[in-house]
Amino acid sequence: SNAPVKVAVTGAAGQICYNLLFRIASGALLGPDQPVELRLLEITPALKALEGVVMELDDSAFPLLSGVQIGDDANTVFDGVNLALLIGARPRSKGMERADLLEANGAIFTTQGRALNDHAAADIKVLVTGNPANTNALIAMSNAPDIPRQRFNALTRLDHNRAKAQLAAKVGATVSDITHMTIWGNHSATQYPDLFHALVRGQNAADLVNDQEWLESTFLPTVQQRGAAIIEARGASSAASAANATIDHMHDWVLGTPENDWVSMSVPSDGSYGVPEGLISSFPCTVSGGEYSIVQGLEINDFSRAKIDASTAELAEEREAVRSLGLIS
Ligand code: NAI
C-alpha cells in the first residue's frame, strides 16, 4: 500500500484542530486509500491537552492513521513533512490593534518558516489558516528562501464556501448548483466575494440575482462579517467550518480541482489582475498535478476593480507593517 503522507498541524490542541485532526485521520484530506502520519505542534503549556486529543485519536482506531507525534519544537515536528497546516496563531485579544497582532504572530511564523525551510520534505506544501492568514503566510514564505514561493498558500476557502451558501439561499439553489465563485484579496473584512463570474446551474449569478442593492448591502457584508456573526451566536469563533475549509483547500491543492470549476486560494501574486507581485492574495485558481494556476483573462468591471484594489491595498499595508518590524526583508 502507499507510504504514509506526513502531515504537520500547528495549534493542534485548539478548537479548529479538535475537528480537523479527526477528519484528516478519517481520510477526508487525501482520500480513502492514503495513510497519513500526523505531526502535531503546540506550545509547551498546551502539550498536556494535546496528549488528551491524541488519546481520542487512538480511541478512534482510524485505519488510515499510521502514526502520531507531538512536540513543542518546530524543527523536530516538521522533520520530513510533506504537508503543513499552520493553524496555531496568536488570537486578537480585546483592544489589540492589528499591528500588535502582526507582531505577535510574526514571531511564530518566522520560526515556523525557518523550520520548514530547514527540515520539511522537498515536496512540502504549506497552508496558513491562523490569522492574519495572508500576512502570516507571507512571513513564513519570506523566512523559507529554499522553498519555492508557490508552496505557501493562505486560507480564503471558508469565505468562498460562505459566499456559495449565501448565494444558494438567495436564489433557491443548492451549493452544488454553484460554480466559479471567487474571493479576491485578503481574508479580512475587505475581502471581495465576486458574483460577476459565479454561475448558478451555468447561469451568471449577478444576472440571475439582478439586484445590485442586495449584492452591495446584504451579500458582501454578510460574507465579510460572517466570522463576527459566528462569534456573536456561538460565543466562540468558527471552528468546524474553518477545519472543513482547510481540508477543502489542501485536498484540492493535492488532488486537483473539478473540471469546469475553480476555487479561491490565497497564493503569492504574480501580478495577475493588477495585484502587486508577491502579496499573498486570494484569486480564482485551478489545480492540476499538485500545481495551482491563477485563472487568467476574467473581465473585471469597475465595481469589482475598486473592491479588489481596496483589499489588496490592505495587504500591501500589512506587508509594509511586517517589513518595518523586520519580519520580512
Ligand atoms: P484556538 O485558540 O482554539 O487554538 C489555537 C491553538 O494554537 C492554541 O491551542 C495555541 O496554544 C496554539 N498555538 C499558539 N501559538 C502556537 C505556536 N507557536 N505553535 C503551535 N501552536 C500554537 O484557536 P482556533 O479557534 O483553533 O483558531 C486558530 C486560528 O485560526 C486563529 O488564528 C483564528 O483566527 C484562525 N481562523 C482562521 C480562519 C480562516 O478562514 N482563515 C477561520 C477561523 C479561524
Tens digit of each residue's pLDDT (9 = 90 or more) over 134-177: 999 999 999 999 999 999 999 999 999 999 999 999 999 999 99
Number of CB atoms found within 10 A of residue 288's CB: 10
Q: How many beta carbons lie within 10 A of that of residue 297, not counting itself?
A: 6
Atom of ligand 1 nearest to the CA of 108: 18
Catalytic residue among 160, 180, 187, 249: 187
Q: How far apart are the first and last CA of the chain?
A: 44
Asked if residue 67 has pLDDT above 70, the reply is yes
Q: Which stretches of 120-182 are DSSP H helices?
A: 133-142, 157-171
The answer to whether residue 187 is catalytic is: yes
CA 274, CA 78: separation in Å to the nearest integer? 35
Atom 42, ligand 1: which residue's CA is nearest? 242
Contact assessment for residue 254 and residue 30, using Cβ atoms and an 8 Å cutoff: yes
CA distances from 42 to 11, 177, 230 (A): 5, 40, 25
Cell of 246: 482547510
Write the residue with the smallest CA distance to atom 4 of ligand 1.
14
Could you tell me which residues are annotated as the binding site for substrate? 92, 98, 131, 162
Query: Which band of pLDDT confidence, cut at 50, 70 and 90, is reported for residue 1?
Result: low
Supply the pLDDT for residue 5: 98
Please provide the average confidence, as pLDDT, over all residues in the chain. 96
C-alpha triplet 127, 94, 45: angle, nearest 5°: 60
Buried b (16+ CB within 10 A) or exposed e, 221-243: ebbbebbeebeeeeeeebbebbb
Q: Which candidate, 194, 200, 195, places its Cα nearest to that of 172?
A: 200
The answer to whether the CB of 231 falls within 8 A of the CB of 207 is no
| Model confidence pLDDT, tens digit, residues 198-256 | 999 999 999 999 999 999 999 999 999 999 999 999 999 999 999 999 999 999 999 99
The region, left, alpha or beta by phi > 0 then psi within -120 to 50, assigned to residue 248 is alpha
CB atoms within 10 A of CB 80: 13
pLDDT value for 186:
98
Distance 187 CA to ligand 1 centre (A): 15
Q: Is the pLDDT of residue 101 over 90?
A: no
Q: ipTM score of the complex?
A: 0.99
Q: How many residues does the structure list for the chain?
A: 329
For ligand 1, whether the C-beta of 158 sits within 6 Å is: yes
Cis peptide before 132 (omega within 30 of 0): yes
Angle in degrees, 0-180, between the axes of helices 240-255 and 157-171, rounded to the nearest 10: 110
